[in-house]
Structure 1
Amino acid sequence: MGRIVVSENVSIDGVVQDPTGEEGFDRGGWFGRIGEADRRAWAEVEHREAREAAALLLGRRSYTWFAARWPARTGEWADRLNGLPKYVVSTTLTEPGWAGTTVLTGDVVQAAAGLRCAVAGDVVVHASRLLVQTLLAHDLVDEVRLTVFPVVLGSGERLFGPTADRVPLHLLDVETVGDSLVRLTYRRERPGGG
């Protein structure tokens, strides 16, 4: 049985909105404000995660962003992402352009639960804020990895929205990434230790 792993870049106050500044959010572009050494260290962590992943799961908007960039890139990291099975949750996408993509239509919760059973290994979710919130609400997230960027934005869309109940997490690891970033890894705690 696989695991669903959420892997996100967030500000200190949990904002995930418009990290590259392409969406018009007045506080967007925060990802690009780190130094080159931090960017290289971040890329190494992301490349390692891609090597360990069995598949990617993305929401429609995030998929479109990734699919517009990665197929044209080269190198080991690009080769790995381009070669991974990719699943995109969408009611409108009919012909995905990124090789190895399967469109998941219908009930998101059922489709994600099916992936956990069908994929041996980690199904990594990048970006996809609304998808992450849905997965958390239905207890389908097994691990959360947050790379925290050294900025407080004060407003913007946050990764974690209102929940019907608490979502207990257990800290597994704290990793310094470069000089300014921190990667926090949490396991979802479930009754009975599962």
Structure 2
Amino acid sequence: MGKIVISTNMSLDGVVQDPDGAEGFDRGGWFGRFGGADLPAWTKVAFDEALDAGALLLGRRSDEWFAARWLSRGGEFADRLNGIPKYVVSGSRRGPAWSNATLLEGTLTDAVIQLKRDVPGDVLVFASYRLGRALLEHDLVDELRLVVFPVVLGAGERLFGETSGSKPLSLIDVRTLGAGLTHLTYATAGTGASVKR
């Protein structure tokens, strides 16, 4: 049985919006600007995570965002991301843009529960903050992997929004990537283990 893993980059105050600056957000571009010399360490972790994953789960906008950035690239990392099975949640019912992708049918809860049954290993949720919020609300997330960039942006879309109740987490891993990025791993209630450092 697979597990749903939200894996995302964020500012210290939780902003996930416009990491590369291409969306026109006035505080966008924070990924490169504040990742700097630490990005090779980030790339190794992200590549290893992609190699170990069974699939990606994306919202429609993230599917389009990644397709525009990765389909034209080559190399091991791009080949892995372009080739991995992808599942896309879309209210518009528009077909996926990225390669090797399937549009999920039915309710979010039923579709994700079935996906966890069908896909062995990790099902990674990249950059899809709206989808991530819905998954958290419906207790469908097994793990969160957050790379925190050393900046407070002060505005922008954040990963976490309001929920109908508390969502307890257990810290299972903390490490630094390079000199300035922090990689935090949390398990949702009932799935935690002791902290690794």
Contact conserved, 2:137 with 2:163, CA < 8 A, in 1?
yes
Shift of 1:68: 1.2
Q: Output the CA distance in 2 between the equivalents of 1:29 and 1:106.
A: 35
3-state SS of paired residue (1:72)? coil
Q: Output the CA distance in 1 between the equivalents of 2:2 and 2:27.
A: 36
TM normalised by structure 2 equals: 0.92
Q: Aligned residue for 1:61?
A: 61
- Residue range with higher mean Cα deviation, 183-192 or 141-150: 183-192
Give unpaired runs (5+ residues) of structure 1: none
Q: Percent same amino acid among aligned pairs?
A: 60
Q: Aligned residue for 1:40?
A: 40
Q: Output the CA distance in 1 between the equivalents of 2:35 and 2:182.
A: 14
TM normalised by structure 1 equals: 0.93
Shift of 1:65: 0.6
Q: Output the CA distance in 2 between the equivalents of 1:45 and 1:158.
A: 22
1:5-84 superposed matches below 5 A? 5-34=5-34, 36-84=36-84
Contact conserved, 1:60 with 1:88, CA < 8 A, in 2?
yes
Contact conserved, 1:91 with 1:106, CA < 8 A, in 2?
no
RMSD over aligned CA atoms reads: 1.8
Structure 1: which 4+ aligned runs deviate by more than 4 Å?
A: none
Shift of 1:105: 3.4
Over 3 Å counting, the alpha-carbon distance change for 1:44 and 1:21 in structure 2 is same
Give unpaired runs (5+ residues) of structure 2: none
Q: Output the CA distance in 1 between the equivalents of 2:111 and 2:17.
A: 25
Q: How many residues align?
A: 193
Contact conserved, 2:15 with 2:159, CA < 8 A, in 1?
yes
Over 3 Å counting, the alpha-carbon distance change for 1:95 and 1:162 in structure 2 is closer
Q: Which amino acid aligns with 1:167?
A: K
